[in-house]
Amino acid sequence: MFNVAHVLDPSMVKALAAYFQNLNPKPLGGGDESRALLPEGKKIYEEGVPSADVPPCASCHGPDAKGADAFPRLAGQLPDYIYRKLTNWDRERGQNKDQPDNSAIMQPIAHELTQVQIKAVAAYVSQLDQ
């Protein structure tokens, strides 16, 4: 996405973000394996993981996971997509230390989640249809 997005001016980014935030796709969810992870994913999404200093996902992405302001929509995303993004956060974000953006907030959160917790959150948000 960087190859495309880096040439967009701020007004275009804002317009695209608003457009995608207002889409309401039907969730695809995950397979049978994902269903077993839903309770844990919901708990992490709503309550976080206090023992690891991970705040609730809902505090930034909203209670319905539709995103808010600069925070992206998670509801209905494919579980594999969410899993890959959280697992590879450090390698994919390419933060400019001189000009940090709000995605820097996610780095310590993504780093503190275990693989099972990431799969659980991915399973939970993938089935949300609100």
Task: Give the number of other CB atoms < 10 A from CB of residue 96.
Answer: 9
| Average pLDDT estimate for 106-116 | 91
Task: Give the number of other CB atoms < 10 A from CB of residue 70.
Answer: 13
More confident call, 78 vs 97: 78
* Rounded distance between C-alpha atoms, residue 54 and residue 49, angstroms: 5
More confident call, 118 vs 93: 118
CATH of domain 2-126: 1.10.760.10
Looking at every residue in the chain, the average pLDDT score rounds to: 84
Check residue 4 and give its pLDDT.
75
Domain positions in the chain are 2-126
Residue 13 — pLDDT band, cuts 50, 70, 90? Answer: confident
For the cut 80, the answer to whether the pLDDT of residue 93 exceeds it is: no
| Average pLDDT estimate for 108-120 | 94
* Rounded distance between C-alpha atoms, residue 29 and residue 86, angstroms: 17
| 110 closest CA partner among 62, 58, 65, 52 | 52
pLDDT digits (tens, 9 = 90+) for 36-83: 899 999 999 999 999 999 999 999 999 999 987 778 889 988 899 999
